[in-house]
Amino acid sequence: MIEGLRDLGYSLETAISDIMDNSITAGSRRIQIITETVSDNPHIAIVDDGSGMSEDELIAAMRPGSRNPLDTRDRPDLGRFGLGLKSASFSQCRRLTVVSRKSGETSAAVWDLDDVANRNEWAVQLPDDLTDIPAVDQLGPSGTLVLWQKLDRLTGGYSSNAAKRAEVVNQRIAETERHLRLIFHRFMEESKPLRILLNGRILRPLDPFARKNPATIADPEERLTINQGDVEIQSFTLPHHKQMSKVDWDDIGGPEGHLKSQGFYLYRGKRLIIHGTWFGLCRQSELTKLARVRIDIPNSMDSDWKIDVKKSSAQLPPVVRDRLKKVIERIQAGSKRTYKKRGQKLVDHERLPMWHRVQADGQISYRPNTDHPAFADFAANLPPELRRGFFNCIALVGASLPIETLHADLAGTAEQIMPDWLDEDALAQAVHSTVCVLMGAKKDIKEIISLMKDVDPFRSAWEDTQRIITTMIEQQKEVM
């Protein structure tokens, strides 16, 4: 049985999160994660400053299934089955040591799977000498140390190659960092914040809703009351990637990007359980990738949502599904508007776009705007016999737009698609032509700048465009 507990499907990040759940339930405000990956006996230690346990409480906590999942739990209790400490630990190591300090007394207990196998009995060790236990010196007046040794599940097959083993473990730890910043971000954002340290470095919270960004749209909070408690729902529309720094955009999107991060974010007692899913209510799409919905449930709803042992998956109850079907239409519309509004602004015909968006017979196509000053001015200076060939070349460019490739790129990494770089001479020619046409239409320079600032190629090279316009104005003043 104890070997079977190792294969419940924990990853390193979900295993550490499960241990930290116990720390938070014990009232911890500071949790340290300490890793030693270079030595011949690598280990991972999780140390908190919570209330700690007496020896009797520690022995009970070391027993698999120490708590009935049907028992009513206190509101801040993040536990579930009474298995987390053991199942999470054994999923990553073969030796689990727990040292806890409460009311001035320090107790320790050790589960070693090799010892259990050799003795063929459920015998927990209770050591008296704690001096050789790694990280035990990090314990304060009260708190608990959870120590993982014999990390057979983390070596990546490099058990005899210390350098490669350390590389693999360190990579896994680096991946775990973002997970912890996201899962516990609400605890880290409180007025008396939970401080999580990884090898001495304080982690900063990762808010998936970007609530500090003024461009984020937050809908009013809704409350659904059912027999087991209240379900709180609030939807957010993230800012367009042009309204965020690249660092923040990439951080919120994560390694899989914003397309995979959209959808519902389910919290149980402020602890994130599952994220980046629509629970089968709709498909993930490029136009809805800015939509994210926070759902808060109490721990009294665990059975209704089918929260698993790892607290990393859940299922949507039918009574909540009906409400979310109505919510989802509104939040999708908000995300779509953020993209469509910007798209319509960029193809506004009064702003002299380089491309026209043409919709006819249920199809959409993009066609070069041959009336654009850059094209019209150049064509006017061509001999009549060359003009037809010039406009044919422009039409050929429009008809050869790589639709399939663009669709594939937009479906995954739209924010990485950028306009091609334009050299100084080509940009200057386009600026001169456009400014002259707009001045001929009796528009003042402020209006001209406003029109040009929102369309490419000027928008993506605005500093150079502004400099060229300023030079043009100064030259005109000198002539006058």
Q: Where are the domains of the chain?
A: 4-202, 217-344, 351-479
pTM: 0.72
CATH of domain 217-344: 3.30.230
- CA 197 to chain centroid, in Å, comes to 20
Q: What is the pLDDT of residue 57?
A: 93
Q: What is the pLDDT of residue 72?
A: 52
Which CATH topology does 4-202 take?
Heat Shock Protein 90 (3.30.565)
Best CA proximity match to 55, nearest among 22, 24, 100: 100
Q: What is the pLDDT of residue 272?
A: 95
Q: Write the secondary structure of 134-145 as one string of H (helix), E (strand) and C (coil).
A: CCHHHCCCCEEE
Q: What is the pLDDT of residue 411?
A: 65
| Tens of pLDDT, residue by residue, the chain (480 residues) | 777 778 888 899 999 999 999 999 999 999 999 999 888 888 999 999 999 999 999 999 988 765 555 455 455 556 544 577 888 999 999 999 999 999 999 999 999 999 888 888 878 899 989 999 999 999 999 999 999 999 988 877 776 777 888 888 889 999 999 999 999 999 999 999 999 999 999 999 999 999 999 999 898 899 988 887 889 999 998 988 888 898 999 999 998 888 889 999 999 989 999 999 998 888 888 778 888 999 999 888 888 888 877 777 788 888 888 888 888 777 666 555 555 555 444 444 555 678 888 877 778 888 888 888 778 888 888 888 888 888 888 888 888 888 888 877 776 666 777 777 778 888 888 888 888 877 877 788 888 888 788 777 888 888 888 888 888 888 877 766
CA distances to 97, 187, 361 from 196, in Å:
21, 10, 57
